[in-house]
């Protein structure tokens, strides 16, 4: 029953955060602050992970091409498909659930413990709109991070394949451009927008409604990471079933 209570509480939170909006001159600064912390602050780890994921996919594909009858450009094709369809939007989102999600939960949870949220509500401010809405708006730029992850991941595959001696640059580029379906990129960005909303709201829910002291902040951060990852994986399956079948 607790799971049903949490689902209902989450739905109510999503509705309430759009009520009684904060003045734009205040909201603008909050959004810019969240963009800096959530988006630009995550670029480094995403670039690092994407490069090496692309490199690993390229090497593993090359090592499994045991027959000379299989064209080498399949390495570039497999790298492109793996990065664009899954590794960039889904794998990076799970990583972001740990980095961004834990940050959101701990920051809001700390405000709950120190009674700052209570102070906002006493002043007549919609605390949900003030704290959560800027995060949702900032995370709508999340596709920018994923587009960078796609580019860097494919580049990492090219780097590992060419400099590792598994494939020539011309063959890899040919594989990357072979049988390209533009809708696959659209599909990835649709998933990314949904994941962005989940990354902003699920950790916020666990932070906003947590109870206890400083110890519970850490527990709430762990719980939010687990549930954000679970919901992202399930949503990924549902969207794939709806959009690609």
pTM value is 0.90
For residue 45, the surrounding DSSP H or E stretch is: helix 43-63
Per-10-residue mean pLDDT for the chain, 245 residues long?
78 85 86 90 91 92 78 87 90 90 89 85 85 91 92 93 87 88 91 93 89 81 90 93 86
Rounded Cα–Cα distance for residues 161 and 168 (Å)? 8
| DSSP conformation letters of 135-199 | HHHHHTTHHHHHHHHHHHHHHHHHHHHHHTTSS-HHHHHHHHHTT--HHHHHHHHHHHHHHHHHH
Tokens for 206?
């666990």
- Phi/psi for 154 (5° steps) reads -65, -40
pLDDT score at 228: 92
Q: Please report the pLDDT score of residue 1 as a whole number.
A: 57
For residue 179, what are its two tokens? Answer: 């049988």
Please give the radius of gyration of the chain, using alpha carbons only, rounded to the nearest integer: 21
Q: How many CB atoms lie within 10 A of CB 127?
A: 22
Angle subtended at Cα 86 by Cα 186 and Cα 194, rounded to the nearest 5 degrees = 55
CA angle 235, 33, 113 (to 5 degrees): 75
Q: Measured between alpha carbons, how far is 54 from 152 in angstroms, rounded to an integer?
A: 8
Quick one: how far is CA 201 from the chain centroid?
12
Structure tokens given for 219: 């527990």
Residue 191 pLDDT: 93
């Amino acid at each position: 029953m607790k799971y049903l209570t949490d689902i209902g509480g989450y739905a109510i939170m999503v509705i309430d955060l759009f009520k009684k909006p904060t003045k734009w001159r205040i909201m603008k600064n909050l959004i810019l602050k969240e963009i800096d912390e959530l988006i630009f602050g995550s670029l480094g780890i995403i670039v690092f992970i994407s490069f090496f994921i692309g490199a690993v996919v390229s090497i593993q594909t090359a090592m499994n091409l045991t027959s000379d009858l299989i064209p080498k450009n399949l390495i570039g094709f497999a790298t492109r498909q793996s990065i664009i369809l899954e590794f960039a939007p889904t794998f990076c989102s799970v990583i972001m659930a740990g980095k961004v999600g834990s940050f959101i939960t701990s920051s809001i949870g700390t405000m709950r413990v120190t009674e700052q949220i209570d102070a906002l509500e006493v002043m007549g401010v919609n605390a949900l709109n003030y704290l959560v809405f800027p995060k949702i708006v900032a995370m709508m730029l999340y596709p920018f991070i994923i587009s960078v992850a796609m580019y860097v991941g494919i580049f990492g595959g090219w780097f590992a394949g060419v400099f590792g001696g598994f494939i020539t640059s011309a063959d890899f580029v040919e594989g990357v451009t072979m049988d390209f379906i533009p809708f696959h990129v659209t599909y990835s960005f649709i998933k990314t927008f949904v994941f962005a909303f989940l990354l902003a709201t699920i950790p916020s829910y666990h932070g906003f409604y947590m109870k206890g002291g400083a110890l519970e902040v850490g527990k709430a951060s762990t719980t939010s990471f687990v549930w954000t990852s679970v919901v992202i994986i399930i949503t990924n399956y549902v969207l794939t079933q709806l959009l690609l079948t």
